[in-house]
Amino acid sequence: MIQGGKSSYQNLNEKQREAVMTTEGPLLILAGAGSGKTTVLVNRIGHILDTNGVFPSNILAITFTNKAAREMKERVERILGDESDGMWISTFHSCCVRILRKNIDRLGYTSSFVIYDRSDQLTLLKGAIKELDMNEKLYDPKMVIGHISDAKDKLISPAEFMKTYRDDFKMSKIAAIYERYQKNLKKNNALDFDDIIVKTVELFEKNEEVLEFYQRKFKYVMVDEYQDTNRAQYRLVSLISRLHKNLCVVGDDDQSIYGWRGADITNILNFEKEFNGAVVIKLEQNYRSTQNILDSANAVIKNNNERKSKNLWTDKSGGEKIKVFKAMDEREEGDFISRKIRELTEGDNGMGDFAVLYRTNAQSRAIEEALMRQNIPYKIYGGLKFYDRKEIKDIIAYLRLIQNPLDDISLKRIINVPKRGIGLKTIEKLESFAYSKEENIYSAMLDLEDGLISTRAKSKVEQFVSIISTLMAMNECMNISLLIEKVLEDTGYMEELKNENSVESQTRIENLKEFISSAVEFEQISEEKDLETFLASISLVSDLDSLEEGDDYVSIMTLHSAKGLEFPVVFMVGMEEGIFPSSRSVLDEDRLEEERRLCYVGITRAQQELYMTYANERTIYGRKNYGTNSRFLSELPQDCLQSYNAKIDKIKNHPSSNIDMREIKKNFTFGSSVKPEVKKDIDNSGIELGSRISHPKFGEGTIVSKTGNDVTIAFENKGVKMINLEYVKLEKI
DNA sequence: TCACTGGGGATTTTT
DNA sequence: TCCCCAGTGA
């Protein structure tokens, strides 16, 4: 039945084969970096299908990224061909969207729901705060979104949230905002990213027969990157697999770097406890990197306490040493990298062999400038995403409104884009009118009462309605790419851009054209070709999906974005205390361990060569900072290293800083830009870890860490702040 | 309604 | 430093 079926398992190592053969019951595969987990998953799927009575449609494989899903799908198709039809290999989100489209009416939404991204969320949330007559200054929307998202990750409903924080003034206000926000989402027939998971769980828990349907369907469930799952995803997975119990999860606790996004590392650490009779298989043989690279990665990660022990090994012994370079500043750091790349491309390496990885996006500029100076082609991942561009968001807003007229957020976005003389006042009136009738803005616009708005405004609104309703009719009979062109034309959007005739408007037009071609491509490859599916698919993609390895350019990106990728030569830059590990994590053991895992992820991206660089002096947000080497550098084994010029210092937090971290976290404020007051007026020798000082503005505090001229101080009632000694005079107490 | 300005804030972000 | 947003004046 399967081409090359069993015989191909001969290429697997013993552990891998064991993982492939273990198909029944709960299975945890601890797959170290580069240990061939996708190969195992793909072969395992093939093996499951060898079993009598199992069909492709009985298999569900879940990944986090589209890229991973696509890769797995391709590889499965390669060994199974048409046999793979009907199998679900998709991301958590697209799998849930698929389920919701069918059944969400049971939760009071309609199947034409739209998906809100982060900026839509923010708009909606600000509206909710306003409706509740609260002050945005006090309830910072980003902070509130954080709390809401956190709650959703943990499946905490607004009501439960309220109950938990009944006695906490501020948090109970946030609970009220959460409740209103959720109500408004529903009113707009919209889901945010978190809802996609949460609502699916809700659907399953409230509708036994729906759950049963999927439980029966999916006899075998596989989850990739299990270390990144949150509570909600954990719940989802355990619900679906409860009947057959054939749940296989693959993950690496050492690569858990999304804790701050709600990923719950205990999901993987406690798997054996949660799922009775679970088998655990460790894949420790690495096929990617040299021994030196692996030794370094192992040595760094060994400093973490919270982990399942694991030791990567390879039969590729030796290899190039890890090269450490100390630069004067970020400019020299960049030049070192571009020189090295030039040098190595004289030999066997192509531009596509290199990646430059940094901790924060802000670091990309110095790197870009250096690469440009040497005329090195590069591609940057992250930063402003294609779908985040204004013109793309505008056209998407039009499409969303056409699909789902309940979507007030999209309507408000484009009602006056391009300018049609419908101003803020008019929109406000329309909104409160709609609100009073418990309707959405668009439907309110369909039958306007006389005298509500001026006749001038009224005729403008009617024009707008007529454009949209025509487009809605067109959607019924037209394919998407054509519809998009119609939208751009009929709304006057394209015309306005053309009239502007600037370089900027030109790129916007280019981007819109690219958007149209993405629609054309969608029409060619997708089974369902309706607007609904198109909009969902673009809400669920990221720029990272477009990364193609082997191309002739250097890839530059954050360490987070690099997870799952590999490159022959990797540069990890900005290896300085305060940058990496970030100054926000050095005070907290858990966060520091996550930074260390991020470092582990970075190191294990390298196949042959790894460079680590740091700078003495770095300008951050227009201010000079002086740094010391990252503690992670000092954790590397000496005999794996080759240093150009660096003497690596050991970094330690003050051991006896007997400060209660929980207390500090409560009112953690960071990076208050302390204005230059008194110039260098401090005897640096007076600043020691643990010593008590007094700050002109913040009062008394204790010094908890020190890097160059930056000291971090825990203040009695102002939380923790980082102070640059160059600008502020501190008095020793 | 729109263009300008000044203040404040600025990890990481698979979907 | 650079970008976003709220507030202001024409």
In this complex, the nucleotide whose C1' atom is nearest to the CA atom of residue A93 is: B15
Give chain A's end-to-end CA distance (angstroms, integer): 80
Strands (E), A75-113: 88-91
Q: Do domains A14-104+197-285 and A301-377+552-644 have the same CATH topology?
A: yes
* A35 appears as a binding residue in the annotation: yes
DSSP percent split of chain A into helix, strand, coil, nearest 5? 50, 15, 35
Beta-sheet pairing, A731-732 with A692-695: antiparallel
- Cβ atoms of A463 and A420 within 8 Å: the answer is yes
Q: What is the pTM of this model?
A: 0.86
- Cβ atoms of A570 and A610 within 8 Å: the answer is yes
Residue reference for tokens 């959460």: A178
Q: How far apart are alpha carbons A95 and A611 in whole angstroms?
A: 39
As its CATH architecture, domain A301-377+552-644 has 3-Layer(aba) Sandwich (3.40)
DSSP string, A235-273: HHHHHHTTTT--EEEEE-GGG---GGGT--THHHHTHHH
Please check whether strand C approaches the CB of A136 to within 7 Å: yes
Angle formed at CA A135 by CA A129 and CA A141, multiple of 5 degrees: 55
In this complex, the nucleotide whose C1' atom is nearest to the CA atom of residue A256 is: B14
Report the catalytic residues of A: 37-38, 224-225, 255, 605
pLDDT of residue A677: 30
* A33 appears as a binding residue in the annotation: yes
CA torsion sign for A249, A254, A256, A259 is positive
In this complex, the nucleotide whose C1' atom is nearest to the CA atom of residue A126 is: C5
At A706, list the tokens: 């020190």
**Measured in whole angstroms, how far is the alpha carbon of residue A305 from the centre of its chain?**
25
In this complex, the nucleotide whose C1' atom is nearest to the CA atom of residue A94 is: B15
A681-695 in b/e burial notation, b at 16+ Cβ within 10 A?
ebeeeebebebebeb
Q: How far apart are alpha carbons A96 and A235 in whole angstroms?
A: 13
Strand B contacts in A 123-182 (CB under 7 A): none
Please check whether strand B approaches the CB of A587 to within 7 Å: no
pLDDT of residue A668: 35
CB count, 10 Å around CB of A269? 16
* A32 appears as a binding residue in the annotation: yes
pLDDT of residue A410: 92
Residue reference for tokens 């949460």: A198
CB count, 10 Å around CB of A631? 25
Strand C contacts in A 614-653 (CB under 7 A): 619, 621-623
Q: A114-188 in CATH: which number?
A: 1.10.10
* A38 appears as a binding residue in the annotation: yes
The domain A14-104+197-285 is placed in CATH, from the list 3.40.50.1860, 1.10.357.10, 3.40.50.300, 1.10.287.40, at: 3.40.50.300
- DSSP category for residue A344: H
Give the residue whose CA sits closest to C3 at C1'.
Answer: A621
pLDDT of residue A690: 65
The distance (Å) linking the CA of A141 with the C1' of B12 is: 19
- DSSP category for residue A578: B
Give chain A's residues under pLDDT 70: 1-8, 383-384, 543-550, 652-690, 696-698, 704-712, 714-729
Domain boundaries in chain A? 14-104+197-285, 114-188, 301-377+552-644, 387-395+409-533, 691-732
pLDDT of residue A705: 63
CB count, 10 Å around CB of A44? 24
- Cβ atoms of A570 and A337 within 8 Å: the answer is no
Angle formed at CA A576 by CA A608 and CA A712, multiple of 5 degrees: 155
A287-317 in b/e burial notation, b at 16+ Cβ within 10 A?
ebbbbbbbbbbbbbbeebeebeebebebebe
DSSP string, A581-648: TBTTTTT-HHHHHHHHHHHHHHHTTEEEEEEEEEEEEEEETTEEEE--B-HHHHTS-GGGEEESS--P
To which CATH superfamily is domain A387-395+409-533 assigned?
Answer: PCRA; domain 4 (1.10.486.10)
